[in-house]
Chains A and B, each alone.
Chain A
Amino acid sequence: MTSRSSQEPLLQVEDLSLRRDGRPILYKVYLTIRRGEIHGLLGLNGSGKSSLAYTLMGCTGYEPDSGHILFDGHDITRLSITERAKLGLTLAWQEPARFEGISVGKYLILGMPEPDRRRAAEALEAVDLSPARYLNRSINHSLSGGERKRIELAAVYAMQPKLAILDEPDSGVDTLSLSDIAALIRRMADQGTSILLITHRDEMVTVADSASLMCQGSIVFGGAPANVRRYYDHRCKVHNETVGVVMPEVIASGAEGSERRAT
């Protein structure tokens, strides 16, 4: 834990389960993120990381069957996306939406408590985009995937939420380098934003203060990022045992993998 984080939990996920179309997606998820903390959530593709992000944000179709989500002292399990956002929670989608006729500048300002063009420009600079070139551009398909991704990160930066869920910020062609993203995440944390960093690239969690490993809809291991990374390196593999579906698998853990294991 770094000096900016405290022991006080900002987000607590308790016994969270979700089924969609009759299939279990999340199963008894427990997760705690402390104030000021950068928490890495590592897992293979299809392990349920994005589903957890959508459930935490309150997206349609991701209403949990059981469990609770506590955020900043509030039970937000049944709150709308807007209500959660107003409490200080936001999400940067893995593949951000595009908008016809909305400028980058307007988009960045939308999430701010008070419109602040200077902050919008600063947010663009934080993701290495020139405000002069981008503030008046439209967030439509004229932007490359990488540009759109950077703007999404800039929007979260500009918003200064209490907790930002960043879903695979490192994915996508033409995106920022890992060190650039790590620097941005640290900068956001220094400004008081806790981060839930979702990734399938284990080197990304080195920026985190703590980490968890997700597998088949559950968090199976948690602790120091280095330990989670090692566990992931040695024990996670993709297998194809379910016909037509690529499912991740964690091989039975050894003694070194027992730092914080889900039940």
Chain B
Amino acid sequence: MTQQREVIVPEPGWARDFEAILEAYKQAGGDPDALRMPRMATMVVNANKVLAANDAHGVHFETEELPDGIRARIFVEPGTRVEYPIHLCFGMLPTEGVQRIDIEYEIGAGAQVEFLAHCTFPNAIKLQHIMDARIHVGANAAMTYTESHFHGPHGGIEVLPTTRVVVEDGGRFATTFSLVHGRVGRMAIDYDVSVGAGGVAEMTTKAYGMANDRIRVNEVLHLDGEGARGLTKTRVAVRDEAKSEVFTTAEGNAPFARGHMDCTEIVRGHAVARNVPVVVVRNDRARVTHEAAIGTVNHKELETLMARGLTEEEAVDVIIRGMLR
């Protein structure tokens, strides 16, 4: 198959937009140089414009611009070992508007791939980012997906990602969602993952809410195949008037399925945190466990850092940042 380097025909102003989004990408923790390296598969989206979509060996992008967002399909050929992480940047520089991302990931059987996604909305005052993702991890394939957000200081953003994942037999899927820099605004994550025989799924969510931020995490893990394993790990800190709600469900539906849910939330000031774990076991040889700890910062950790000269606020921040790393 011919390797395609640039599928997007630059329009007037493209370079300016591209550089601006790269700067925002950097704020979100991304490495702009990675988006310029020719051997890397990359996709860069600003609002409803696909500024770049660069294929690499065994990795293909199909993109389409919509009135309020984009539609994309990312296809990794079966058996492909993607050498470098695929870098994705979803951004929106205006203060207001809607960005709708309709995206499909098809990871062929036996492929191995890592995605690093950065979502950056540095100027958001009244902005909505809606993502509808469908992920198919083929048999014995492995996909790692790490998504970091940066929302700026205003808190005027709604982030509404919905993701449906199917992990075929022997497949591995690991995802980390991180929103710990800038204000959260309102976030509602909805993940639903089904895992086949011998497959593995790990979902990690990290968020730091402040002021009047609202965090809602809903994760459902279906361990459908024999020996399927799954883990949900949630780390949330809320302070001021922020609120978080974490709903996690793990279903053990097959023999030797093993699931675990692990939720830790730190609450400061007038913030409120809620965790609702649901365990469903439909097979007498499956096992699902959960643990949750919600409360203030561990007192001994706090006093230990204060005994090194940190103020209480500094110590709390170090502990929270550590938990969210």
Whether a CB of chain B sits under 8 angstroms from the CB of A143 is no
B1 within 8 A of A: no
Of the stretches A9-17, A91-99, A170-178, A222-230, the one at the interface is: A91-99
B301 touches A111 (CB 8 A): no
Q: Identify B312's interface contact among A82, A86, A110, A111, CB under 8 A.
A: A82
Complex-state Cα separation, A96 to B298, whole angstroms: 12
CB interface residues, B 278-319, toward A, < 8 Å = 298-301, 303-312, 318-319
CA distance A57 to B310 in the complex (A): 14
**B contact patch SS:** helix
Q: Which residues of A contact B303 (CB under 8 A)?
A: 57, 59-60, 81
- Name the residue of chain A whose CB is nearest to the CB of B264: A100
> How far does the Cβ of A95 sit from chain B's closest Cβ, in whole Å?
8
B301-A91 in contact (CB<8A): no
Q: A159 to nearest B CB, angstroms? A: 6
**Most A CB atoms within 10 A — which of B300, B303, B308, B310?**
B308
**Known contacts A97-B300, A97-B301; is-contact A85 B322 (Cβ 8 Å):** no
Chain A residues near B318 (CB-CB < 8 A): 102, 110
- Select B310's contact among A82, A93, A96, A155, beta carbons within 8 Å: A82
- Counting CB contacts under 8 A, is A90 at the interface? yes
Q: A101-B321, A101-B322, A110-B318 are in contact. Are A93 and B309 (CB under 8 A)?
A: no
Taking CB atoms, residues of chain B closer than 8 Å to A82 are: 306, 309-312
A245-B273 Cα distance, complex, nearest whole Å: 39
Interface residues of A in 60-81 (CB under 8 A from B): 60, 80-81
Which residues from B are CB-within-8-Å of A100?
322-323, 325
Q: Does B324 contact A (CB under 8 A)?
A: yes
Which single residue of chain A is at the shortest CB-CB distance from B306? A81
B300, closest chain A residue (CB): A97
Which residue of B298, B309, B323, B324 is within 8 Å of A97 (Cβ)? B298
Q: Which residues of A contact B312 (CB under 8 A)?
A: 80, 82
Q: Return chain A residues, CB-CB under 8 Å to B304.
A: 93, 96-97
Minimal beta-carbon separation of A111 from chain B (angstroms): 3
- A82-121 vs B, CB cutoff 8 Å, 1 = contact: the mask equals 1011100011010011111110000000110000000000
Q: Which of B299, B309, B310, B319 has the most CB of A within 10 A?
A: B309
CA of A100 to CA of B300 in the docked complex: distance in angstroms? Answer: 13
* CA gap between A100 and B301 in the complex, in Å: 10
Residue in chain B with minimal CB distance to A99: B322
Question: Judging by beta carbons under 8 Å apart, are B307 and A90 in contact?
Answer: yes
Distance of B85 from chain A, by nearest CB (Å): 21
A162 smallest CB distance to B (angstroms): 12
Contact of A110 with B308 in the complex, beta carbons under 8 Å: yes
Q: Is the CB of A85 within 8 A of B307?
A: yes
Q: How far is the CA of A59 from the CA of B319 in the complex (A)?
A: 18
Which A residues touch B307, using CB under 8 A? Answer: 57, 81, 84-85, 90-91
Query: A85 with B319: in contact, given A59-B303, A97-B301, A101-B324 (CB under 8 Å)?
Result: no
Please indicate the chain A residues that have their CB under 8 angstroms from the CB of B306 in the complex: 80-82, 85
Given A101-B321, A101-B322, A85–B308 Cβ distance below 8 Å?
yes
* B299, B304, B307, B323 — most chain A CB neighbours (10 Å): B307
Contacts of A99 in B (CB 8 A): 301, 319, 322
Q: Is the CB of B322 within 8 A of A102?
A: yes
Given A59-B303, A97-B300, A101-B325, A155–B319 Cβ distance below 8 Å? no
A159 touches B301 (CB 8 A): no
Give the CA-CA distance A159 to B325 in the complex, in Å: 25
CA distance A98 to B301 in the complex (A): 7
Inter-chain contacts of B325 with A (CB < 8 A): 100-102
Q: How far apart are B200's CB and chain A's nearest CB, in angstroms? A: 21
Q: When chains A and B are docked, how far (Å) is the Cα of A102 from the Cα of B301?
A: 11
The CA of A155 and the CA of B324, in the complex, are separated in Å by 23
Minimum CB–CB distance from A20 to chain B (whole Å) comes to 15
The 30 listed contacts between A and B (C-beta, < 8 Å) are A57-B303, A59-B303, A80-B306, A81-B303, A81-B306, A81-B307, A82-B306, A82-B310, A84-B307, A85-B310, A90-B307, A90-B309, A93-B300, A93-B304, A96-B304, A97-B298, A97-B300, A97-B301, A97-B304, A99-B319, A100-B325, A101-B322, A101-B323, A102-B318, A102-B319, A102-B322, A102-B325, A110-B318, A111-B308, A111-B309
Beyond A85-B307, A101-B322, list 15 extra A-B contacts (CB 8 Å).
Answer: A57-B307, A82-B309, A82-B311, A85-B306, A90-B308, A97-B298, A98-B301, A100-B323, A101-B321, A101-B323, A102-B325, A110-B305, A110-B318, A111-B309, A159-B308
User: Which A residues fall within an 8 A CB radius of B?
Assistant: 57, 59-60, 80-82, 84-86, 90-91, 93, 96-102, 110-111, 155, 159
Kindly list the 7 A-B residue pairs having the minimum CB-CB distance in the complex, ordered from nearest: A111-B308, A101-B322, A101-B325, A81-B306, A102-B322, A85-B309, A97-B300
